[in-house]
Amino acid sequence: MRSCRRSSAIADVPRCGRNFGPHFASGTLSSGVGMPSYRFKFYDPNSRSEKRGAAVLASDNEAAQLAHRVIRELIHDDEKLYTMWMVEITARDRKVATFSFVPEARAAE
């Protein structure tokens, strides 16, 4: 059994957890019909804080849209905490996208 360290900034979220909010699937991800499984890593580049999630989606565009929805929710919940965070999206070994929360935080102003 793998041990999970807790994030220092967000005590209730294990660093190695796969689920993050209602947007991501629980359990094992299996696309079944060729839909890619995407992994999401939301993190603060200046600390060890991170949240992870995974979802089976139809395209890279859908994965980016989902990440933007999650970013908007996080910024809405605690703008000061999440403003400098980043998100990295991967599908297997392929890097799909990486972007900053900063534009979303500015849009929320």
What pLDDT, on a 0 to 100 scale, did the predictor assign at position 95?
97
What pLDDT, on a 0 to 100 scale, did the predictor assign at position 107?
75
**98 three-class SS:** strand
Question: pLDDT tens, 68-94?
Answer: 999 999 999 898 899 899 999 999 999
Question: pLDDT tens, 30-73?
Answer: 545 578 899 999 999 999 899 999 999 999 999 999 999 999 99
User: Are the C-beta atoms of residues 41 and 95 closer than 8 Å to each other?
Assistant: no
DSSP line for 71-91: HHHHHHH-HHHHTT-EEEEEE
pTM exceeds 0.75, yes or no: no
What pLDDT, on a 0 to 100 scale, did the predictor assign at position 103?
76
